[in-house]
Amino acid sequence: MVPISKQTGLGWTTLSVDDSAGAAQVIKNDVTQLNFATPRAVIDVTGVDAVAFERLLGLADFTIELTGVFNVAATFSHAVFSTVPSSSVERTVSLGIGGKTLAVECLFSDYALTRAQSGELTWTAPGSRSSGAAAPTWA
pLDDT tens string for the chain (139 positions)? Answer: 777 778 888 889 999 999 999 999 999 999 999 999 999 999 999 999 999 999 999 999 999 999 999 999 999 999 999 999 999 999 999 999 989 999 999 999 999 999 999 999 999 999 999 977 777 888 8
Specify the pLDDT at position 45: 96
Task: Give the class (CATH, top level) of 14-129.
Answer: mainly beta
Specify the pLDDT at position 63: 95
Specify the pLDDT at position 6: 85
User: What is the reported pTM?
Assistant: 0.87
DSSP string, 47-96: -TT-SS--EEEEEE--EEEEEEE---STTSHHHHHTTGGG----EEEEEE
* Cα–Cα distance, 110 to 99 (Å, whole number): 30
Domain locations in the chain as residue ranges: 14-129
Element (H, E) at 44: strand 40-44
CB under 8 Å, gap of 24 or more: what pairs does 85-92 form? Answer: 85/111, 87/20, 89/18, 89/20, 89/22, 90/18, 90/130, 90/131, 91/17, 91/18, 91/19, 91/20, 91/22, 91/127, 92/16, 92/17, 92/18, 92/22, 92/24
Specify the pLDDT at position 11: 84
Specify the pLDDT at position 128: 95
Compute CA distances 22 → 14, 17, 72, whole Å: 17, 9, 19
